A and B are shown apart, each in its own frame.
Chain A
Amino acid sequence: MKETASQTAGPYVHIGCVPSVAGLEMYRGQDLGAKMLSPDVTGERITLHGVIHDGSGAPVTDAMIEIWQADAEGRFDNPAFLGWGRQATDAQTGAFRFDTILPGPVTQDDGTRHAPHILMWIVARGINLGLMTRVYFDDGPDPVLDQVPAARRQTLIAQRDGPKLRFDVHLQGAQETVFFDV
């Protein structure tokens, strides 16, 4: 069988995925994925934030972003931490923000280690197939990062200011973020 074809999420993605942003009261007022932290989660608290820009530099004010990450020990099966979050970009500024924990390095089946990273998936009007990227916190070594051309590697590394980590996304242009087909 062939994978179902993707289509854009469109400008009204919020209705289905973040109803409160559409001005729609559904699901007892709870947007799925809005809150990643609970008191039971162990690990270093961080805020991952940034702005999405289009090819003209304008903010992308109607995107939806999801992240998927390991816990502080590099595990994906922690019952206290789902590891998944979802946010809309701000309707005026294109800014986004996730309150989460710093993930640990992830050890693969074959023993190789991936440096701490957060998978990020972006959909919006004008994006036909969701864009996947990785947020890193330093420049490796890492089997994925190491294969990115050196001149573009910095686009995947968040800028740290205490607990705040800034990660701007450029969909197109001179500062274009590296996206992956994985």
Chain B
Amino acid sequence: MTIRPRDHTHQPPALTPAYRSSQLRAPSHKPLRYAPSRTEATGPTFGHDLIGPTDHDLIINYARPGETAMGERIIVHGVLRDEDARPVPNALIEVWQANAGGRYRHKKDGYLAPLDPNFGGCGRMLTDGEGRFSFRTIRPGPYPWPNGGNDWRPAHIHFSIFGAAFAQRLITQMYFEGDPHIALCPIVQTIPDPGAIDRLTARLDMAHSVPMDIRAYRFDLVLRGRDQTLFENRMEGA
């Protein structure tokens, strides 16, 4: 099994000065390429016994008994595939987010908006045999951040995804259709390709909404392809 080289035209470069934190954290050398070996083509596998019954339900997984988190109730669902459109089954997806007011349950977040006593802000799940995943949560609020000026993050949910190979490991953020902060955000705009930004934007999915209960958003994910044979015994960018 080999891993297809990453197409960097759809990925943010390391140095993106408008996102100020990247200025001292971006390597100045171009990364060196080598042909993926057994190390990169393998990765950890997580069993279903890891996942608790409410791990994927952020509406209740931190709530006091009989209570629920405050905010817009939503389902987020989608399919995890690779670049060859093959579903990635049994893959671990972890998510985290702020509450409805844009406040994170993290000891370093000092934003004025209050914590929700019934909302922790993290969840996890494994994709099924067809690569599908689904979780329930509340729609997170936008929040201000110290980047200089008057910067606000769009409403977003962070995703951490494991594929079958460690080279497929990915962390990203999901945005919501129609949010005017998307175009203004220096973190979103680290991505040079408008199509790649559009694919990070979840779509309202009325067909999967539950009347009088919860709306749905559709968000699909794609990991690097794994089948293309690559014999490249030469460093690039050296």
Contacts and interface: CB of A to CB of B under 8 A. Distances in A.
Tell me whether A and B are bound partners.
yes
Interface of A: 1-17, 19, 22-24, 26-28, 32, 54-56, 58, 60, 62, 66, 68-70, 76, 82-84, 91, 106-109, 114, 117, 119, 121, 123-132, 143-144, 147-149, 152, 171-173, 176-182
Interface in B158-178: 158, 160, 166-167, 169-173
Contacts of A58: 24
B171 to A, nearest CB: 5
A2 B10 contact: yes
Chain B at the A interface: SS class: loop
B14 to A, nearest CB: 6
Interface size class of B (residues with CB under 8 A): 35 or more
B190 A7 contact: yes
List the 10 closest A-B pairs by CB distance, nearest first: A16-B96, A126-B21, A126-B25, A84-B44, A128-B12, A181-B31, A55-B24, A7-B173, A5-B196, A15-B96
B200 interface: yes
A18 to B, nearest CB: 10
B25 A127 contact: yes
Contact of B81 (A1, A147, A152): A1
B235 to A, nearest CB: 4
A1 B84 contact: yes
A182 B167 contact: yes
A6 B24 contact: no
A83 to B, nearest CB: 7
Interface string B34-47: 11111110111010
